[in-house]
Amino acid sequence: MERVSEAAACGPSSGCYTYQVSRHSADMLHSLNQQRKNGGRFCDVLLRVGDESFPAHRAVLAACSEYFESVFSAQLGD
């Protein structure tokens, strides 16, 4: 559900508003998964398990796994 409300810190006369989408995170993950499933669109890493390969988004893997964050950070020289 989308909601627009006046931002508390801005005050009524400032014209500042907040825009809140309660399903944003779910919609974003759905979109990333659809991109992955549709030919690996915007994917930047390929995971291989046995004889199978899976396109993936490096940022999603790093955000969900300390292991992948460590691996990708090491590749960047962090």
Cα separation of 74 and 68, whole Å? Answer: 10
Q: What tens digit of pLDDT does each residue of 5-64 get?
A: 545 566 566 777 777 777 888 999 999 999 999 989 999 999 999 999 999 999 999 999
| pLDDT at site 46 | 95
| pLDDT at site 24 | 83
Same domain, 4 and 34: yes
| pLDDT at site 22 | 78
| Whether pLDDT at 1 is above 70 | no
Same domain, 35 and 52: no
Same domain, 5 and 20: yes
25 near 15, Cβ under 8 Å?
Answer: no
Residue 40 zone, left/alpha/beta (φ > 0; ψ -120 to 50; rest): left
Same domain, 7 and 31: yes
Q: What is the mean pLDDT of residues 62-70?
A: 96
Map residue 27 onto helix, strand or coil: helix
Domain containing residue 35 = 1-39
Same domain, 35 and 48: no
